[in-house]
Amino acid sequence: MPGKLFIRRRDGRIEIRLNDVGRGAIREVFAHVVASERDPDHEWHLSMNAPINPSHDNDDPVSTLARQHDIATNAELSVMTLNEQFLNDAEAWAWLCTLQVALRSTAVSKGIFDEEKLSSCAPELLDEIHLMQQLLFDLAACF
Amino acid sequence: MKPLRSTSTESDVESDVTVVTERPWNVIVWNDPVTPMTVVEVVFKRIFGYSNNKCTQLMLTVHHEGRAIVWSGQRERAESYCVKLQVAGLQATVELDS
């Protein structure tokens, strides 16, 4: 994909330079995050509910609720702003968090825990991961 | 009957020094093979407000050593930071300082 996909403008807004195909791909990613937060059987659900304090059998319920709420809020805000041409700072941060949650959840659900495993995964999966990395790379440059 | 003059031998000077005896809780960020380095830096900057240099150093520690202590202190705050990092998609946990 030539050129940057996200640009921080002088007025502080972040311009989205994605075509319909790109937005469609992101829509699918965001929808997965929303679904996995609600569905305990979703393949991403486990990675989104990782332990906070592994030395305890159960994490503090207040902390886990806060995490659930914030991930869902970010994902829903991302879905709501999918068709916008410009994002404000909070919206762009929600996009970054949701994309990163999706990227890590993809890796965890496919058992990609090291470089070796990453390089040996199926080409379609690798393309999916590279797309999310590229989006994150350009979006992170706006902060 | 109230005495005309205090006969107390206790010191009137109160100490401002607080002795902390509890071990701090560490917030750990773990390496993974897919997260772009710039994302890790941006998340550290946004959540902790660290300088660019400190964010880069911490990111490199995560990358090369597999993990880094990114914050230490009170347990409640450590868990709160850990949740913020997890919401931003990083692999983070808390542990008691050894």
pTM: 0.88
Secondary structure (H, E, C), B31-83: CCCCCCHHHHHHHHHHHHCCCHHHHHHHHHHHHHHCEEEEEEECHHHHHHHHH
pLDDT at B2: 46
A78-111: string of b/e by CB count within 10 Å (b at 16+)? Answer: bbebeeeeebeeebbbbbbbbbbbbbbbbbbebe
Residue A140 in contact with residue A5, Cβ under 8 Å? no
**Residue numbers of the domain that contains B87:** 47-98
A chain contacts of residue B93, beta-carbon cutoff 8 Å: 50-54
Question: Is B11 a member of any domain?
Answer: no
pLDDT at B21: 64
- The number of residues in chain A equals 143
Domain definitions of chain A by residue range: 15-50+60-140
Query: Which residue, among B69, B25, B68, B58, has the nearest Cα to A55 in the 3D structure?
Result: B25
Nearest to B36 among A97, A117, A140 (CB): A140
Band of the pLDDT at A38, cuts 50, 70, 90? confident
Whether the pLDDT of residue B16 is over 90: the answer is no
pLDDT at B78: 97
Mean pLDDT value of segment A55-69: 92
Count of domains observed in chain B: 1
Question: Is B31 a member of any domain?
Answer: no
AA letter at A80: M
A chain contacts of residue B45, beta-carbon cutoff 8 Å: 143
For testing contact with chain B, the best of A97, A99, A117, A130 (most B CBs within 10 A): A97
Could you give phi then psi for residue B65, rounded to 5 degrees?
-105, -5
Among left, alpha and beta (phi > 0; psi -120 to 50; other), residue A133 is alpha
Residue B94: count of CB within 10 angstroms of its CB: 26
For testing contact with chain A, the best of B67, B87, B95 (most A CBs within 10 A): B87
